[in-house]
Amino acid sequence: MPLDTADIERDWDTPVVDAGIAAKASIIARVGLLDLRAGTGSFRIRELMHRIGYPLGVHVRANINLTDMGVSCSDGVSRITQVVDLPTTGVNTERIWLLEHFADWFSVNIGAPATTYHAQTAVSQAMVQQLDNPDAERSVLRATQKAHREIERRKRIHEKAVKRAKKRGFQPPKGEYAEHFEHIGKTREDIAAERAAAAAGNNVGKKVASEPVRNGSDSVDSHNQASGNSVNVNNTVNQNVDSVRAANSAAATSSVATKSAGSKPQTSVGAAPKLSSNTSRGITVRQAHERLSLIQHRKPLYAPWFSAIASAVACACFVFLLGGGPYDMIGAFIGAGIGHWVRRRLFVYHLNQFFVTFVAVAVAAFACVGTLRLIGVFDPVALRHDTAYIGAMLFVIPGFPLITGGLDIAKMDLPSGIQRLVYTLALILMATLAGWMVASIVHLSPQGFEPLGLNPWVTGALRALCAFGGVWGFSVLFNSPQRMCFTAAIIGAITDTLRLTIVDFGMPPEAAAFLGAMLAGLLASVWRSSVRHGFLPPYLGYPRICLTVPSIVIMVPGLYMYRAMFYLGQFDTLNALDWAFRAFMVILCLPIGLAMARVITDKSWRYDV
Q: What is the pLDDT of residues 228-249, one digit of tens each?
A: 443 343 344 344 434 434 444 4
Ramachandran quadrant class, 271 (left: phi over 0; alpha: psi -120 to 50; beta: rest): beta
> What gap in Å lies between CA 426 and CA 340, rounded to an integer?
19
pTM: 0.77
Residue of 285 and 118 predicted with greater confidence: 285
**Residue pair 553/399 in contact by the 8 Å Cβ criterion:** yes
Sign of torsion over alpha carbons 151, 152, 156, 162: positive
pLDDT of residue 201: 63
Find, among 488, 490, 516, the residue nearest to 501 by Cα. Answer: 516
If DSSP codes are grouped into helix, strand and coil, which group holds residue 84?
Answer: strand
For the ranges 271-280, 308-317, 375-384, 417-426, the lowest mean pLDDT is seen at 271-280
> What gap in Å lies between CA 552 and CA 518, rounded to an integer?
10
Residue of 417 and 260 predicted with greater confidence: 417
Confidence check: pLDDT of 263 > 60 = no
Phi, psi angles (nearest 5°) of residue 387: -90, -10
pLDDT of residue 534: 78
> How many CB atoms are located within 10 Å of the residue 238 CB?
13
pLDDT of residue 115: 60
pLDDT of residue 278: 45
Q: Given pLDDT bands bounded at 50, 70 and 90, which one contains residue 36? A: very high
Residue of 137 and 74 predicted with greater confidence: 74
The CB-side HSE value for 280 (13 A sphere, CA atoms) comes to: 0
For the ranges 164-173, 328-337, 372-381, 524-533, the lowest mean pLDDT is seen at 164-173
Percentage, residues of the chain above pLDDT 70: 80
Residue of 354 and 196 predicted with greater confidence: 354
Find, among 441, 460, 539, 436, the residue nearest to 101 by Cα. Answer: 539
For the ranges 20-24, 36-40, 115-119, 467-471, the lowest mean pLDDT is seen at 115-119
pLDDT of residue 170: 53
Average confidence (pLDDT) over 304-323? 93
Confidence check: pLDDT of 209 > 70 = no
Confidence check: pLDDT of 168 > 80 = no
Q: What is the pLDDT of residues 116-128, one digit of tens each?
A: 666 667 788 888 8
**Residue pair 420/66 in contact by the 8 Å Cβ criterion:** yes
Average confidence (pLDDT) over 493-503? 94
Confidence check: pLDDT of 190 > 80 = no
pLDDT of residue 592: 93
What separation in angstroms does the CA of 308 have from each of 31, 178, 336? 30, 70, 7
Helix 544-552 and helix 573-601: axis angle, to 10°? Answer: 150
For the ranges 52-66, 274-288, 452-466, the lowest mean pLDDT is seen at 274-288
The angle subtended at Cα 350 by Cα 481 and Cα 476, nearest 5°, is 15
**Residue pair 31/62 in contact by the 8 Å Cβ criterion:** no
Average confidence (pLDDT) over 484-507? 94
pLDDT of residue 276: 39
> What gap in Å lies between CA 82 and CA 443, rounded to an integer?
53
pLDDT of residue 26: 93
pLDDT of residue 21: 93
pLDDT of residue 188: 59
Write out the DSSP string of 63-77: EE-SSEEEEEEE-SS
For the chain, give the mean pLDDT: 81
Q: Given pLDDT bands bounded at 50, 70 and 90, which one contains residue 177? A: low
**Residue pair 239/232 in contact by the 8 Å Cβ criterion:** no
For the ranges 96-100, 213-217, 414-418, the lowest mean pLDDT is seen at 213-217
Confidence check: pLDDT of 30 > 80 = yes
What letter represents residue 337's amino acid?
G
Average confidence (pLDDT) over 438-442? 86
Average confidence (pLDDT) over 331-340? 94
pLDDT of residue 153: 85
**Residue pair 442/370 in contact by the 8 Å Cβ criterion:** no
